[in-house]
């Protein structure tokens, strides 16, 4: 893990390159998430979700990374989808088999012209599991 504990080491799985718009998207999976029973067993459910996401993204140019905690413990398995200069998304209530949904969401995000993940076509788990949508910093306006 790096000094600020934001990403664990060696978690970039998919190389950048010929992916075009997909190169701009990163999926971050909370590797410390436990399953619905709260079990402390290893591998944790979050690690299994990260593995499933890596498998689903293996032929894509989507970066998949892990983080030790997204602080979304009440919503269990969590992940975020980020794109430079666009809104960021946090999802919860995922399963260990939600990797394909995260990759589908990342693909929609990569091709979005307005910097948002379109609702239409978004996998149900990403519709139900939306926790937050965070604006890019350059969009924020100071109150005067």
Query: 46 CB contacts (<8 Å, ≥6 apart)?
Result: 29, 30, 31, 32, 33, 34, 66, 77, 78
pLDDT of residue 129: 97
pLDDT along the chain (144 residues), means of 10: 34 45 88 89 95 95 94 93 93 97 96 90 96 89 68
pLDDT of residue 88: 96
Domains of the chain and any CATH numbers: 20-136 (3.40.30.10)
């Amino acid at each position: 893990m790096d000094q600020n504990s934001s990403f664990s080491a060696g978690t970039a799985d998919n190389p950048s390159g010929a992916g075009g718009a997909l190169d701009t998207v990163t999926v971050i999976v909370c590797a410390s998430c436990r399953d619905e029973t709260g079990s402390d067993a290893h591998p944790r459910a979050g690690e299994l979700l990260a593995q499933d996401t890596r498998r689903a993204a293996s032929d894509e140019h989507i970066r998949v990374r892990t983080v030790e905690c997204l602080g979304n413990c009440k919503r269990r398995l969590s992940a975020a989808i980020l794109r430079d200069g666009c809104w960021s998304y946090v999802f919860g209530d995922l399963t260990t088999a939600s990797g394909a949904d995260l990759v589908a969401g990342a693909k929609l995000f990569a091709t979005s012209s307005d910097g948002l993940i379109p609702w239409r076509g978004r996998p149900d788990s990403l519709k139900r599991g939306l926790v937050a949508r965070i604006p890019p910093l350059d969009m924020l306006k100071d109150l005067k």
